[in-house]
């Protein structure tokens, strides 16, 4: 039968279903088989031939027919899994049912009355056709998930058969050990199976159905109780799934082993279509959804690193019931870490390779999923985090993240990408090794829209952060606290900043210490405290190599004097606020001496008008995101108990949120409220008073810098007068050999603000991840135009 006939027959069946007012019996196979037995329709065909309006009409007007259709489709998958799909016809039926369920499930989820349907048992649906007790019948959802997992390890359908024999001795799907059929070499598996195009396509379709099952989460509004687990994911990642380990390993290995460059040959992808990429994308999406787990509410997976033995130990696992989270947290072999890190770094760097060898490699689009995966790895497996920081390999993750942050800074549709990039850097910056690694010289010349500089990875980080703060769009303002916290965390370890980076830091201080900025929002002065902490850390702990920064501080000494003499009377406060009205631009870009951008770079562009984006819940403020630790003499950290509830001004800022809404966990009432800037949202009900200014001005940590200026400024001025100098190289030479030993106040202890898991970020990750998955699945558009509740779809 031609494909046109087959489409026609399928369409006829759909029309019959939508026009029948009477229930069709489940036993009427002649009717139901039209949907899967005689057709060869692609998933795109199914989406075109089963319109949304008709699915909703059946749901409302003949619910029993929709129920029977779902039940029969699941039954076919179960039969396929039981039989092992040895014939072409059986495989076709399985794929057709798979596509049909992918089409229908979102419409089941969007209706609260239907949501429990898959978790009910269908009367008489025991697998033996009614001879079993109904009590033993599984809920439909469980039968569906178990059938799909069996089908993912089905010889000659989704994996290579290990027997070279005829059909009569075909492998029994129930006796095979699926651990021998892992899809790709890598963690816990050494053998790389022969690539098979058809198997990859079949896996991709089954994974698409799995992802659709898990997407019930999209139809529930965000709540602060992130512990409400997704029943589909919970069952799938439980011991009920006998393929949990090989499937977890297959997904992880397929993602980390993928090489989009066409196995090292440039331009290869132009000759061969890459059928691996859709599978890798689907695998990455399924993987991050199964790992959606709030680590703050549970005993965290093992962190002490005491396990030894196989790739994942067989002893009773501590930690979560979610086996995927469990397995992830227990990977510990160096070679496995190396494989994962190399794979993620290779894929994250792929869009960068594009910029200097255009079209040499296929450009991947799933970097956001990779960032979520990398986050989960670091959050759930502390040994992995330490491994990442043990060598300069961490820079292979850092550079792509800085590239994405810089590239997305003007694009409103990529606020989520900005947040996850910053969250990862915040997590890494809590470890001393990260700061130390940043001292490695930066030589990779990825074209980026930033000033040309010669220096280290620390310089690159500071220059990109400066660019985000001074030329990103307004909705990034709540990230400023996070960006500066990262700089504070690494500052005690930075051996020598370039002149460009030193000037950028001083330009930020200048911008943040204007009276109108300080007085216009209740938390703005925190940014000044962060920057002063950076200068103090570098002066006290890294004075020797940092003559550029010391010189910049001397040149801009008036900024520090103005801060010390900040007026606190009502009249001056009002005058400071008046200035704001004249300068709407949050931070002036003048006098930041931007200089020439790197060759070959394109300016960061705003989103095209009409670009779709999904809304995000607010993120907790920096005080909720982090916990203070003090670094002792020997380099170990001890957590500082949070002081009494009243926070000192130089301490942690109050929650400033991703879209200027206090984190209550509830979905905001009106989207308009959320768009307001954090500074604007608080200024409505708050006005600065002299007492308030005094309360924090008295705590500004200026002593170290004032002492430095007191000692060095007269010496520098004397050199200039004596030698008639205006040349900075002489002054820098003098500063390089100067010393302040014994002249500065006693060094303060180093404070690090370490990221801590909390349900606020867990919920943020859930909405961000599903938003990415929603927008990335356009062919077919699985969730498009359905009534999702987890986020709003907006146009830029």
Q: For 264-315, what is the HEC assignment? A: CCCCHHHCCCCCHHHHHHHHHHHHHHHCCCCCCCCCCCCCCCCCCCCCCCCC
pLDDT top residue among 782 and 679: 782
pLDDT top residue among 187 and 171: 187
Q: Which of 45-49, 455-459, 598-602, 669-673 shows the lowest per-residue confidence on average (mean pLDDT)?
A: 669-673
In DSSP terms, which residues pair with 159 in a beta bridge? 155
Residue 70, pLDDT score? 96
Residue 11 CB: number of other CB atoms within 10 A?
A: 16
Count the domains in the chain: 2
Provide the greatest CA pair distance for the chain: 105
Mean pLDDT (whole number) for 260-272 = 57
What phi, psi does 751 have (nearest 5°)?
A: -110, 130
Share of the chain above pLDDT 70, in %: 82
Confidence of residue 123 (pLDDT cuts 50, 70, 90): low
Residue 638, pLDDT score? 86
Q: Which of 3-7, 67-71, 160-164 shows the lowest per-residue confidence on average (mean pLDDT)?
A: 160-164
Which among 186, 172, 167, 321 is positioned nearest to 244, based on CA atoms?
321
Look up residue 66 and give its two tokens: 């929709």
Q: With 0-12 CB in 10 A as exposed, 13-18 as middle and 19+ as buried, what is 582?
A: exposed
Reply yes or no: is the peptide bond before residue 726 cis, omega within 30 of 0.
no
Domain assignment present for 69: yes
Mean pLDDT (whole number) for 499-508 = 97
Residue 657, pLDDT score? 32
C-alpha atoms less than 13 angstroms from C-alpha of 771 in its C-beta half-sphere: 26
DSSP codes joined into one string, 443-488? ------SSB---SBHHHHHHHHHHHHHHHS-GGGGGGHHHHHHHHH
Residue 675, pLDDT score? 33
Mean pLDDT (whole number) for 201-222 = 96
Confidence of residue 81 (pLDDT cuts 50, 70, 90): very high
The span from the CA of 469 to the CA of 589, in Å, is: 10
Collapsing DSSP states into helix, strand and coil, what is residue 408? helix
Domain assignment present for 88: yes
Collapsing DSSP states into helix, strand and coil, what is residue 491? helix
> Are the C-beta atoms of residues 553 and 536 closer than 8 Å to each other?
no
* SS3 annotation, 207-269: HHHHHHHHHHHHHCCCCCCCCCCCHHHHHHCCCCCCCHHHHHHHHHHHHHHCCCCCCCCCCHH
Confidence of residue 513 (pLDDT cuts 50, 70, 90): very high
User: How many degrees, rounded to 5, is the angle at CA 459 between CA 535 and CA 393?
Assistant: 120
Q: Long-range pairs for 352-361 at CB < 8 Å and ≥24 separation?
A: 352/399, 352/400, 352/403, 352/446, 353/261, 355/446, 355/447, 355/600, 355/601, 356/445, 356/446, 356/447, 356/600, 357/266, 359/267, 359/270, 360/261, 360/266, 360/267, 361/260, 361/261, 361/262, 361/266, 361/269
**pLDDT for 227 beyond 80:** no
Q: Is the dihedral of CA 227, 233, 237, 241 positive or negative?
A: positive
pLDDT top residue among 316 and 426: 426
**pLDDT for 677 beyond 70:** no
Mean pLDDT (whole number) for 718-742 = 82
**pLDDT for 582 beyond 60:** no
**pLDDT for 61 beyond 80:** yes
Residue 303, pLDDT score? 40
Nearby residues of 53 by Cβ (< 8 Å), 6 or more positions away: none
Mean pLDDT (whole number) for 400-412 = 95
The span from the CA of 514 to the CA of 149, in Å, is: 61
Residue 351, pLDDT score? 82
**pLDDT for 678 beyond 80:** no
Domain assignment present for 555: yes
Confidence of residue 600 (pLDDT cuts 50, 70, 90): confident
Confidence of residue 185 (pLDDT cuts 50, 70, 90): very high
Residue 178, pLDDT score? 87
Task: Note down the domain range covering 115.
Answer: 1-124+136-152
Domain assignment present for 117: yes
Domain assignment present for 212: no
Domain assignment present for 614: no
Q: Which of 252-266, 320-334, 363-377, 508-522 shows the lowest per-residue confidence on average (mean pLDDT)?
A: 252-266
Domain assignment present for 650: no
* SS3 annotation, 461-473: HHHHHHHHHHHCC
The span from the CA of 47 to the CA of 41, in Å, is: 10
The span from the CA of 458 to the CA of 480, in Å, is: 17
User: How many degrees, rounded to 5, is the angle at CA 354 between CA 351 and CA 358?
Assistant: 155
Mean of all residue pLDDT scores within the chain: 84
Domain assignment present for 647: no
pLDDT in tens, 609-633: 889 999 998 888 898 899 999 988 7
Q: Long-range pairs for 362-368 at CB < 8 Å and ≥24 separation?
A: 362/260, 362/261, 362/262, 362/269, 362/274, 362/277, 363/260, 364/260, 364/277, 365/281, 365/776, 366/280, 366/281, 366/284, 366/285, 366/776, 367/400, 367/404, 368/416, 368/417, 368/420, 368/772, 368/776
Specify the pTM: 0.89
Q: Long-range pairs for 637-642 at CB < 8 Å and ≥24 separation?
A: 637/432, 637/752, 637/754, 640/751
């Amino acid at each position: 039968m031609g494909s046109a006939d087959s489409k026609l027959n399928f369409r006829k069946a759909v029309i019959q279903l939508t026009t029948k007012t009477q229930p069709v019996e489940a036993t009427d196979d002649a009717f139901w088989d039209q949907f899967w037995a005689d057709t060869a329709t692609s998933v795109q065909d199914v989406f075109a031939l089963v319109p949304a309006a008709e699915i909703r009409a059946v749901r409302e007007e003949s619910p029993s027919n929709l129920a029977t259709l779902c039940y029969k489709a699941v039954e076919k998958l179960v039969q396929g899994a039981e039989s092992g799909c040895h014939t072409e016809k059986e495989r076709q039926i399985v794929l057709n049912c798979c596509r049909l369920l992918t089409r229908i499930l979102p419409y089941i989820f969007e209706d609260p009355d239907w949501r429990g349907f898959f978790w009910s048992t269908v009367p008489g649906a025991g697998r033996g056709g009614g001879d079993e007790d109904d009590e033993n019948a599984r809920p439909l959802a469980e039968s569906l998930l178990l059938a799909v997992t069996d089908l993912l390890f089905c010889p000659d359908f989704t994996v290579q058969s290990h027997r070279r024999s005829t059909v009569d001795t075909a492998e029994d799907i129930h006796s095979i050990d699926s651990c021998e059929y892992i899809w790709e070499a890598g963690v816990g598996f050494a053998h790389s199976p022969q690539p098979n195009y058809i198997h990859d396509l079949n896996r991709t379709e089954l994974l698409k159905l799995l992802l659709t099952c898990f997407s019930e989460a999209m139809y529930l509004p965000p709540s602060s109780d992130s512990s409400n687990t997704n029943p589909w994911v919970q069952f799938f990642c439980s011991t009920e799934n006998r393929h949990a380990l090989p499937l977890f390993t297959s997904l992880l290995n397929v993602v980390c082993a993928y090489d989009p460059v066409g196995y090292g040959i440039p331009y290869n992808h132009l000759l061969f279509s890459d059928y691996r990429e859709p599978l890798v994308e689907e695998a990455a999406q399924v993987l991050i959804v199964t790992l959606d787990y709030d680590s703050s509410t549970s005993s965290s997976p093992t962190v002490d690193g005491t396990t030894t033995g196989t790739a994942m130990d067989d002893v009773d696992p501590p930690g979560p019931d979610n086996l995927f989270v469990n397995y992830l947290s227990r990977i510990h072999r160096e070679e496995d870490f190396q494989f994962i890190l190399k794979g993620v770094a290779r894929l994250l760097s792929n869009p960068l390779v594009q910029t200097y060898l255009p079209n040499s490699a296929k450009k991947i689009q799933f970097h956001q999923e990779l960032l979520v995966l990398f986050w989960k790895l670091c959050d759930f497996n502390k040994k992995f985090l330490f491994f990442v920081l043990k060598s300069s390999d961490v820079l292979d993750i850092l550079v792509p993240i800085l590239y994405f942050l810089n590239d997305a800074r003007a694009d409103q549709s990529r606020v989520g990408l900005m947040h996850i990039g910053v969250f990862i850097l915040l997590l890494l910056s809590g470890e001393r090794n990260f700061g130390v690694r940043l001292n490695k010289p930066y030589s990779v010349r990825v074209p980026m829209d930033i000033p040309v500089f010669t220096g280290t990875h620390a310089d690159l980080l500071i220059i990109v952060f400066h660019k985000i703060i001074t030329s990103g769009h307004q909705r990034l303002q709540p990230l400023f606290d996070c960006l500066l916290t990262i700089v504070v965390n690494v500052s005690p370890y930075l051996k020598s900043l370039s002149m460009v980076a030193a000037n950028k830091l001083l330009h930020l201080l200048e911008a943040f210490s204007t009276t109108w900025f300080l007085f216009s929002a209740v938390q703005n002065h925190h940014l000044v405290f962060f920057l002063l902490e950076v200068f103090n850390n570098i002066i006290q702990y890294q004075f020797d190599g940092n003559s550029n920064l010391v010189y910049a501080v001397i040149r801009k000494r008036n900024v520090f004097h103005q801060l010390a003499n900040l007026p606190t009377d009502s009249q001056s406060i009002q005058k400071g606020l008046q200035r704001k009205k004249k300068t709407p631009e949050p931070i002036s870009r003048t006098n930041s001496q931007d200089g020439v951008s790197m060759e070959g770079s394109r300016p960061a562009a705003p989103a095209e008008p009409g670009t779709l984006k999904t809304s995000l819940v607010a993120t907790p403020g920096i005080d909720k995101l982090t916990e203070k630790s003090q670094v002792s003499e020997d380099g170990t950290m001890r957590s500082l108990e949070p002081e009494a509830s009243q926070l000192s001004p130089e301490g942690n800022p109050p929650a400033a949120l991703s879209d200027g809404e206090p984190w209550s966990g509830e979905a905001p009432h009106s989207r308009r409220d959320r768009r307001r800037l954090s500074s604007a949202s608080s200024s409505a009900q708050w006005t600065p008073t002299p007492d308030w200014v005094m309360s924090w001005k008295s705590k500004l940590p200026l002593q170290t810098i004032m002492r430095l200026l007191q000692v060095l400024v007269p010496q520098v001025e004397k050199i200039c007068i004596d030698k008639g100098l205006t040349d900075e190289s002489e002054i820098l030479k003098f500063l390089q050999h100067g010393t302040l030993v014994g002249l500065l106040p006693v060094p303060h202890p180093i404070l690090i603000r370490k990221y801590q898991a909390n349900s606020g970020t867990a919920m943020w990750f859930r909405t961000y991840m599903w938003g990415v998955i929603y927008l990335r699945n356009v062919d077919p558009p699985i969730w498009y135009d359905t009534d999702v509740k987890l986020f709003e779809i907006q146009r830029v």
